[in-house]
Amino acid sequence: MKRAIYLLLASSLSLSVCAQNNDAKARGLYPKALDLFNAKEYKAAINKVNEIDKLLGKGNARTNYLRTKAAYALNDYNLAQSACKAYFESMPKQDKGYYEMVGIKESLMAYFQAQMKKRQEDAAAWEAQEADRKAREAAEEASRQAQMKAAAERRAAYASVLEAQDKREAEAFANAQKTGTKAAFQEFIYDYPYGKKLTEAKREMNKKWPSPVRTLKNGKYGYTVNGKFVVKPKYEYATDFSDGLARVGKEGKYGYINENGEEVVPLQYTAASSFNYGVAAVKDQNGEAYFILPSGARLQDATYLDTKSFKEGLAACQDENYLYGFVDNKGKLVVQHKFNTVSWFNEGICAVGKNVNGKTLYGYIDNKGNQLCDFIYDEAKDFQGGVARVKTNGKYGLVDRFGSPITCCDYDYISEFKADGYALAKRSNLEVYIDKEGQLWAKVNGKYVTVKF
């Protein structure tokens, strides 16, 4: 028992001596911390008072006083507030820095109140901005929905126009059949280049008045009728007959033959298209591009940098300013030269491109040259049944024949429309079918059912 009491007393004395030593060290460090503060080495001063607190096992009024002032000087108001709070919790009324600390405390309170007020004002401003944004987006969405509704109504109204057009086409086809001549069928095909009777008319025309068939033998092209050559195989290049003429070529030069094999237009062009609407586009050895008639005579005096083949009665031509326009088969300029790139007309509409700030953007025009929409698309595909696929910012959407959007451009991919009126659409790794009104479908057991993303 005596030994235990002795050990306890010895331990207490040892701890007391250690505490006295730490207190002495702390007293010696405080002037150093104060010197660092006066030298404006505020971070070093804070580190020094942290050492003092560690030696003493806790902070006191003096260390918290110095820590508060150093943190305040560093604009570290959070640390200053924490140290200031600890200072006043130590009941420091007898401390010589008491009234100075009262002033700092009031300054800190004012600072944090101002910060809180600013946060509240910022939050209120953000909420107001969010409310404005949501209201603006709601208005924009309402406007977009109204525009799309109006476009859908316009398409529905146009259905009666298409119905009348189909009726006229059926009557014209019946007249061609009644007339029973090749010229009557050809005229019908030119008048209704994308009509519903087009395929039937071409099939019947080819059946009644078959053209010689392009045939390859020993690496050369000729033409046969009932398996017998009526034009000897002597051409390196040849196309099917169109407008009664076939484009043929040898040694990099092109011309035209009739169905009897006669070279009605000599092989003299470096590039040539098939005849359509009684006109072909050619380029001669001087690099001049122009249009010719079946006789080989030029359609007009004008010469171009580039020409494209006729489709739906119009052909593109590029002027000396590298801008494309369109002429008809009489040589009349129907669409002015103002496009940097063009496609062919399809369903009376053509995708055209303009350079906008160094980038080619696309829109659409009709066959009168009227602009149907703004030049905002990175890609613009040909029309299919009154609908075309467009792309912007890497996403695809659909537009109608008036240039109005049917869907937003938010699909990763949209395929061509198939004969059943549906195209494959992909978004967010999901695949669905889309119709020409933008409605989404899934195929279940061979039947289409409506779906939503």
User: What is the reported pLDDT for 18?
Assistant: 67
User: What is the reported pLDDT for 387?
Assistant: 97
Confidence of residue 168 (pLDDT cuts 50, 70, 90): very high
Taking only the tens place, the pLDDT of each residue in 206-248 is 999 999 999 999 999 999 999 999 999 999 999 999 999 999 9
The CATH number that domain 17-96 falls under is 1.25.40.10
User: What is the reported pLDDT for 144?
Assistant: 79
Crossing angle of helices 2-38 and 42-56, in 10° steps, is 170
Mean per-residue pLDDT over the chain, rounded: 92
Of 204 and 159, which is predicted with more confidence?
Answer: 204
Domain extent listing, the chain: 17-96
Tell me if 240 sits within 8 A of 214, measured CB to CB: yes
User: What is the reported pLDDT for 205?
Assistant: 94
Confidence of residue 17 (pLDDT cuts 50, 70, 90): low
Residue 411 DSSP one-character state: B
What number is the average pLDDT over the span 337-351?
Answer: 97
Nearby residues of 407 by Cβ (< 8 Å), 6 or more positions away: 397, 398, 434, 438
The β-bridge partners of 215 are 222
Is it the case that residue 23 has pLDDT exceeding 90? Answer: no
Q: For residues 356 and 361, give the distance between their C-alpha atoms in angstroms, rounded to a whole number.
A: 6
User: What is the reported pLDDT for 148?
Assistant: 81
51-55, 295-299, 300-304: the lowest-pLDDT one = 51-55
Q: For residues 179 and 24, give the distance between their C-alpha atoms in angstroms, rounded to a whole number.
A: 125
Is it the case that residue 6 has pLDDT exceeding 50? Answer: no
Tell me if 45 sits within 8 A of 37, measured CB to CB: yes
Taking only the tens place, the pLDDT of each residue in 355-390 is 999 999 999 999 999 999 999 999 999 999 999 999
Residue 158 DSSP one-character state: H
Q: Which H/E stretch holds residue 401?
A: none
CB crowding 36-57: b at 16 or more within 10 Å, else e: bbeeeebeebbebbeebbebbe
Give which of 289, 293, 380 is closest to 330, Cα–Cα. 293
Tell me if 435 sits within 8 A of 418, measured CB to CB: no
Nearby residues of 208 by Cβ (< 8 Å), 6 or more positions away: 182, 185
Is it the case that residue 110 has pLDDT exceeding 90? Answer: yes
User: What is the reported pLDDT for 206?
Assistant: 92
Taking only the tens place, the pLDDT of each residue in 263-285 is 999 999 999 999 999 999 999 99
